[in-house]
Chains A and B, each alone.
Chain A
Amino acid sequence: MLRAALPLLALPLVGVAEEPPQKSGSPGEPPPGLALFRWQWHEVEAPYLVALWILVASLAKIVFHLSRKVTSLVPESCLLILLGLVLGGIVLAVAKKAEYQLEPGTFFLFLLPPIVLDSGYFMPSRLFFDNLGAILTYAVVGTLWNAFTTGAALWGLQQAGLVAPRVQAGFLDFLLFGSLISAVDPVAVLAVFEEVHVNETLFIIVFGESLLNDAVTVVLYKVCNSFVEMGSANVQATDYLKGVASLFVVSLGGAAVGLVFAFLLALTTRFTKRVRIIEPLLVFLLAYAAYLTAEMASLSAILAVTMCGLGCKKYVEANISHKSRTAVKYTMKTLASCAETVIFMLLGISAVDSSKWAWDSGLVLGTLVFILFFRALGVVLQTWVLNQFRLVPLDKIDQVVMSYGGLRGAVAFALVILLDRTKVPAKDYFVATTIVVVFFTVIVQGLTIKPLVKWLKVKRSEHHKPTLNQELHEHTFDHILAAVEDVVGHHGYHYWRDRWEQFDKKYLSQLLMRRSAYRIRDQIWDVYYRLNIRDAISFVDQGGHVLSSAGLTLPSMPSRNSVAETSVTNLLRESGSGACLDLQVIDTVRSGRDREDAVMHHLLCGGLYKPRRRYKASCSRHFISEDAQERQDKEIFQQNMKRRLESFKSTKHNICFTKSKPRLRKTGRRKKDGVANAEATNGKPPRDLGFQDTAAVILTVESDKEEESDSSETEKEDDEGIIFVARATSEVLQEGKVSGEEGEVQREESPWNSLPQQA
């Protein structure tokens, strides 16, 4: 491994570094005595350089982000490539030879896996499987189409004489080139798309395509490579068939490897309760092992890791502790971000080494034109076919973004470097073309895609400034629509998904999830499963008796503008509908009104809850911004629950509740039915709970009786769900009340078991 890293990383430190350390045993010289200070460069050279490179990349990122304006215009990947170019130029100038390249070995073994793992793990699986048909179509059919048409077109170009004859390439060579240049690159797509917020369906299709086309690319590349090596005369019909068969073997095999490792990972995390510290390590190791195993067996490694991430996520998240979850999330993002940065920088640097490439204008221009054209054509054709089958058709804007967003990146570059020059004499030309193509797509397309998206959308919308009413009602409508979509079960009518979920519930989850986690699984509780217990305590402390009407004040924070605002508001109120007699007041009112207008718009925009439309890229490598969405969800959920409980208060029934008191302490296994009864609690309270004058809310912590003795206090805090149950009498309140000081919560058996008997 070090040997592979060395050529990559040997930074020539001018002068000093090249000196070998003084060896005390050098022949013929008397020992110099105890050396106070020795320069041990060679011993630390390799790791030091790795660290230095990563440091340079990170510093570069910091410098970029200092300027808001630049980063909003230019995607980071562009900046990194340009930085790479600059650095490469410096190195070339200093050392007179290009030292660093994007070595395919390093790339495929070390740089690519973190990125793919990160994407696979954080891929929204529901969305992915909903659109799987479209994704597979684009990945398989689209890539094949692109490869063949580009290869054939380039060959045609050569026949037509536009490509210089020194480019010695036959049909198969062009096909090989076409296969490696046609693959949409996940790294580039992610890097650019996360800055352009397109809707989630579109994102998942392009991104899914870029991940899944790896299998096709690998197969095509290998098949064409072996054909080229065999020589076109020796290729027989059976070889073609074998090629097609290998496509299935590679993709399905890769996916199978990934799923096997996902299973192993989920199973192992089930038992790590006492060794929490190794959980993140397990996740990374097993996922990486999946990658390496697939790579070893010549299967599609990217598919393996993607499937591993997709498959294991649900169970692993249920099994590992909250802290491990955070650790995994952050580490993955860091690794992936780091790898991506290094990749782009090295791409830039590698381009500078002109000994590796040779220029041919016809080839380069032809390739550029063809990949754009054939991709657009392919997308249009496939979309037309797909729209016959899809529930939600893909419209023109989606198609434009899809064809324009097909970026090529480092994978193509690595593959082209891997070509054998003896077998493919035109390698240098191909390298140059690939470099140009990659640069073009990442820089030009990356730069322009954001304005393009904006322009396309803006063209269709109104140009006037929306009134306050419109803004508010627009938001309302968005929420209404989201709610109705959920009622309709927009994604609900899928027979196979239902079957899968049943199978999962009955067998897989029981096998792979820790028992405590398995029991808490249910829909509504899933939503606030991660509610911090401190939040809940403060909730109760605030109101204590949450259902009293006084308790519904929202925490208000002082605002800087409020003083100025209220005065203007009052002015307006006093002057009624705006008929002003005083000239000065008129002036003030007009500007004040405008200012107030602006302030209110600003307030509304900032304060309104965002409906569930915009795809907040959870695959974003630069910001882990899930908190905003989570916080919003928490808030809305709390308020909804408050309101629902309040509405129960209004329906008073006199059902004695004392019977449940002794049962509170009852131990026993909580059955899965208990969950259903919880919902019964919320939904049919008049039947189950009685209310006297002030009802209170108590928090009960779901406790797993078996594991009670082992878990520590911090465990309680993070892992267990919180259930709101309303109680009737004040005595019960005293018994079960949360004591705020220590944060310790009374551990009680769920009372749900007791309720059905009353009903």
Chain B
Amino acid sequence: MGSLSSRAAVIPDVDSIRRETGFSQACLLRLHHRFQALDRDKKGYLSRMDLQQIGALAVNPLGDRIIDSFFPDRSQRVDFSGFVRVLAHFRPIEEEDSEIRDLKKPEPLNSRMNKLRFAFQLYDLDGDGKISWQEMLQVLRLMVGVQVTEEQLESITDRTVQEADEDGDGAVSFLEFAKSLEKMNVEQKMSIRILK
């Protein structure tokens, strides 16, 4: 497998990325290849436009938000490690992960909590740690077809926020969000099998 390791050498900081994300060597290579394919001008980083080129994202209601999640803190470019870091959230959780993990090391990026945190930040645009009524309404509006009226949307938002909100502040904090989804199999719903 000499060629594999020589190709791996092309990726900058490959070891630290591996430690942080937990991806296998083969998977990292695949992602690197994809990164380079997306980076059409060979800049070495991706801009929003590169990601917007992906045709299928244009017909995904959350496409733009996903793209934004690659650019934290209003940056305009994302390098390979940032790219992989976001994708690491979607690595499937294997049994070994939950056993070996000792409490000193930080939680792996693909733990249940981190997956939920990723989804949470897609809702919480202003980053204040709570999904306000407005933000929930915005997400609903994104995901629902045009035949649903504004009032209907608002009443749905009311109910949704009410259901999840426990301390009555009219907004859904992260813990409330996680609690409302405790029965959902998040590990399976937010995992892509090829990212191993």
Contacts and interface: CB of A to CB of B under 8 A. Distances in A.
Interface residues on B, range: 35 or more
Contact of A480 (B31, B62, B152): B62
A569 interface: yes
Nearest to A555: B146
Given A479-B62, A488-B87, A600-B155, A473 B49 contact: no
A607 B148 contact: yes
Given A566-B151, A636-B59, A467 B163 contact: yes
Nearest to A628: B145
B163 A557 contact: no
Contacts of A684: 49
B152 to A, nearest CB: 6
Interface stretch (B8-16, B104-112, B177-185): B177-185
A577 interface: yes
B181 A470 contact: yes
A486 B60 contact: yes
Nearest to A484: B90
A557 to B, nearest CB: 6
B48 interface: yes
B142 to A, nearest CB: 7
Contact of B168 (A558, A565, A577): A577
A603 B64 contact: no
Contacts of B141: 554
B53 A679 contact: yes
Contacts of A480: 62, 66, 119, 122, 190
B159 A493 contact: no
A507 B160 CA distance: 54
Interface string A334-353: 00000000000000000000
B192 A481 contact: yes
A476 B119 contact: yes
A483 interface: yes
B7 interface: no
Contacts of B140: 472
Contacts of B123: 476
B33 interface: yes
Contacts of B31: 488
Given A607-B144, A635-B145, A637-B58, A556 B150 contact: yes
Most chain B CB atoms below 10 A, which of A392, A484, A565, A604: A484
Interface in B51-67: 51-64, 66
A485 to B, nearest CB: 6
B179 to A, nearest CB: 10
B189 interface: yes
Contact of B66 (A483, A553, A562, A679): A483
A604 to B, nearest CB: 7
A481 B189 contact: yes
A476 B63 CA distance: 11
B107 to A, nearest CB: 20
B172 to A, nearest CB: 9
A92 B61 CA distance: 60
B48 A639 contact: no
Interface in A196-227: none
Report which residue of B30, B31, B152, B190 has the largest number of chain A beta carbons within 10 angstroms of its beta carbon.
B152
A160 interface: no
Contacts of A485: 192
B51 A487 contact: yes
B30 A493 contact: yes
B62 A469 contact: no
Contacts of A493: 30, 33-34
A27 to B, nearest CB: 77
Nearest to B191: A481
Given A477-B189, A481-B190, A682 B158 contact: no
Nearest to A565: B155
Contact of A683 (B52, B158, B162): B52
Contacts of A680: 49
A379 B133 CA distance: 51
Nearest to A643: B64
A492 B186 CA distance: 26
Interface in B20-73: 30-31, 33-34, 37-38, 47-49, 51-64, 66
Given A479-B61, A527-B55, A636-B59, A484 B192 contact: yes
B54 A644 contact: no
A632 interface: yes
A468 interface: yes
Contacts of A473: 119, 180-181, 184
A573 B158 contact: yes
Contact of A557 (B49, B59, B60, B149): B149
B87 A484 contact: yes
A488 B194 CA distance: 9
A473 B181 CA distance: 8
B4 to A, nearest CB: 14
A108 interface: no
A472 B160 contact: yes
B183 A484 contact: no
Nearest to A491: B194
B113 interface: no
A554 B152 CA distance: 13
A682 B49 contact: yes
A370 to B, nearest CB: 35
B193 interface: yes
A486 B87 CA distance: 11
Nearest to B90: A484
Contacts of A420: none
Contact of B58 (A476, A478, A527): A527
Contacts of B57: 483, 486-487
Centre residue among A464, A472, A632, A641 by max chain B CB count within 10 A: A472
A640 interface: yes
A392 B193 contact: yes
Interface string A641-680: 1011000000000000000000000000000000000011
Interface string A594-619: 00110010011001110010000000
A393 B181 CA distance: 28
Interface string A393-422: 100000000000000000000000000000
A569 B61 contact: no
B147 interface: yes
Nearest to B149: A556
B122 A487 contact: no
Nearest to A461: B185
A504 interface: no
B156 A476 contact: no
A587 interface: no
Contacts of A569: 155, 158
Contacts of B190: 477, 480-481
A483 B67 CA distance: 9
A473 B57 CA distance: 19
Nearest to A490: B194
B17 interface: no
Nearest to A462: B183
B156 A486 contact: no
A45 B57 CA distance: 58
A34 B181 CA distance: 88
B164 interface: yes
A14 interface: no
Contact of B160 (A468, A490, A558, A559): A468
Contact of B62 (A476, A559, A635): A476
Contacts of A498: 37
A556 B155 CA distance: 15
30 contacts: A391-B194, A462-B183, A470-B183, A476-B143, A477-B119, A478-B189, A480-B119, A480-B190, A483-B56, A485-B192, A487-B54, A489-B34, A489-B38, A493-B33, A498-B37, A523-B53, A524-B58, A527-B55, A554-B141, A565-B151, A572-B158, A573-B158, A603-B156, A607-B145, A607-B148, A609-B143, A609-B144, A636-B58, A640-B63, A644-B64
Which 9 A/B pairs are nearest by Cβ-Cβ distance? A683-B49, A523-B55, A556-B149, A607-B148, A486-B56, A483-B66, A607-B144, A633-B59, A469-B180
